[in-house]
Amino acid sequence: MQLSDQNTYSIQNIDPHHFTEKFGSPLYVYDGATIRRKVQELQHAFPGINMKIKYACKANTNLSILRLMREIGVELDVVSPGELEMGLIAGYSASQITFTPSGVPFEEVREAVDAGAIVNVDSIPLLEWFGQTYGNTKPCLIRIKPNVAAGGNAKIMTAHADSKFGISVLLLDQILEVVKKYDIKIIGLHQHTGSDIKDAEPFLKVADILFETAKHFPDLEIVDLGGGFKVSYLPGDQITDMDLLGRKISERFKKFCSEYGRELQLWFEPGKFLVSESGYLLVNATVVKEDPARNFVHVNSGLNHLIRPMMYGSYHHILNVSNPAGEPKTYNVVGYICETDTFATDRTLPEVKAGDLLAFLNAGAYGFTMSSNYNARQRPAEILVDQAEAKLIRRRETLEDLLKTQTDL
Ligand code: LLP
């Protein structure tokens, strides 16, 4: 079945009514075919170089998604011991996992190193500790802050001078001093510019900064350019031109490798690019309010399930699955949480009636993983549709799940 919205957007491989009847609402549904397609697109975009994908699994840590990634040759980037553990449970070997912490207690770094993961060191104090603790016995990468501002909005830019992430490239002398003092084996340089970066330009700029910095590190095997490719959120939206970016980066990387004197690996850590478009959050309209100021559609969900619109002003396209050919009307689509949780302002949708099934698009990345139990609400179930099979990959939460950590029942 295929549902279309003005012939521009469609939900393929998924029958929303069937799923919500069977598994309830609200419901997260992921399409494995889309994930496979996005992975292939990336794998084919970098001709003639040794490129590796490390999925930034903070975007979606469902074990079935991690297993799917593993099956199709994608490795993992994690930011916490919890994500590392999930990667291991999903069948990754620790050597396929990179730990990219952000100011974490050093004990977490020890846990990751003990497990066998490779670490992106993100501060001078951590580099000192790493050197004191491991000397030259454990290799690591260094996360460089290139001081480049790029990304969809200020909250998701991570490489500008004021960002908390990484070690400023301006501190190169200090980095080299610590590395020398402890003879630390630096096998890679890493950076992550931000999220929702459309143009090739920022990627090329940070690549040049990393390639230049790399000349000071003789034992490199890896250059990691992070994630951040922009995906499509609305009809006609411009996205990162992966073929163009791939060609340009590959060209420069080959030149860099020949100057460096060795073939290195180029790593990327996309999250959104691989999973955003695969996901749908299916909800039902609960109440339609025709207020003198504007029309409101309330749904049986809110910032507790999909916080991106409220946190970043992100656009999520909405389809009225029940009434796709209805008369266009303009609404504010809002949640049921006792906060202002507006999913969409002045959004024109085919007329919505109470009970209609709506689908939020681009819900595969940073949807479920950023969800909460605010207002003592339970999280939705998750379904993965892959290779002609629809599987419940997480059951709906119950009130018992919320109560089980309370000690005074
Ligand atoms: N690598 C590192 C070190 C990161 O911090 C991130 C994302 C990524 C890779 C993947 O970035 P992506 O390809 O997904 O853009 N919650 C926000 C996005 C924050 C991303 C945080 N770091 C959102 O929903 O837009």
pLDDT in tens, 342-371: 999 999 999 999 999 999 999 999 999 999
Q: How far apart are CA 175 and CA 190, in angstroms?
A: 14
Tokens representing 57? Answer: 């699994």
Does ligand 1 come within 6 angstroms of the Cβ of 268? no
Does ligand 1 come within 6 angstroms of the Cβ of 26? no
Kindly report the CATH number assigned to the domain that includes residue 13.
Answer: 2.40.37.10
Across the chain, mean pLDDT equals 95
Give the residue from 235, 252, 270 where a domain finishes.
Answer: 270
Strand partners, 142: 121, 189
Please give the positions annotated as active site: 338
pTM over 0.85: yes
Give the residue from 245, 270, 295 where a domain finishes.
Answer: 270
Residue 2 CB coordination number (10 Å): 9
The minimum-distance atom of ligand 1 relative to the CA of 152 is 25
| 79, 195, 203, 281: residue to mutate for ligand 1 pocket, most atoms within 8 A of CB | 195
Kindly report the CATH number assigned to the domain that includes residue 138.
Answer: 3.20.20.10
Q: Is the pLDDT of residue 235 over 90?
A: no
Query: What is the 227 CA–ligand 1 centroid distance (Å)?
Result: 7
Residues 230 and 328 in one domain: no
Q: How far apart are CA 319 and CA 14, in angstroms?
A: 13
Domain of 356, in residue numbers: 3-29+276-403
The minimum-distance atom of ligand 1 relative to the CA of 100 is 3
Does ligand 1 come within 6 angstroms of the Cβ of 101? no
Q: Rounded to the nearest 5°, which phi and psi values hold at 337?
A: -80, 150
Give the SS3 label for residue 199.
Answer: coil
Residues 117 and 266 in one domain: yes
Residues 224 and 99 in one domain: yes
Query: What is the 164 CA–ligand 1 centroid distance (Å)?
Result: 14
Residues 10 and 108 in one domain: no
pLDDT of residue 264: 98
Does ligand 1 come within 6 angstroms of the Cβ of 56? yes
pLDDT of residue 9: 54
User: Averaged over 172-177, what is the pLDDT?
Assistant: 98
For ligand 1, atom 4, the nearest C-alpha belongs to 192
Q: Write the CB contacts of 201 (distance below 8 Å, at least 6 apart in sequence).
A: none
Does ligand 1 come within 6 angstroms of the Cβ of 59? yes
Residues contributing to the annotated binding site for pyridoxal 5'-phosphate: 228, 366
For ligand 1, atom 5, the nearest C-alpha belongs to 192
Under 8 Å between Cβ of 87 and 115: no
Query: What is the 367 CA–ligand 1 centroid distance (Å)?
Result: 12
Q: Classify residue 156: in a domain, yes or no.
A: yes
Look at the block and give the residue holding tokens 């549902």.
3
7 band by pLDDT with thresholds 50, 70 and 90: very low
Q: Is the pLDDT of residue 297 over 60?
A: yes
Q: Classify residue 188: in a domain, yes or no.
A: yes
Does ligand 1 come within 6 angstroms of the Cβ of 364? no
Tens digits of per-residue pLDDT, 128-167?
A: 999 999 999 999 999 999 888 888 888 888 888 888 989 9
Residues 123 and 180 in one domain: yes
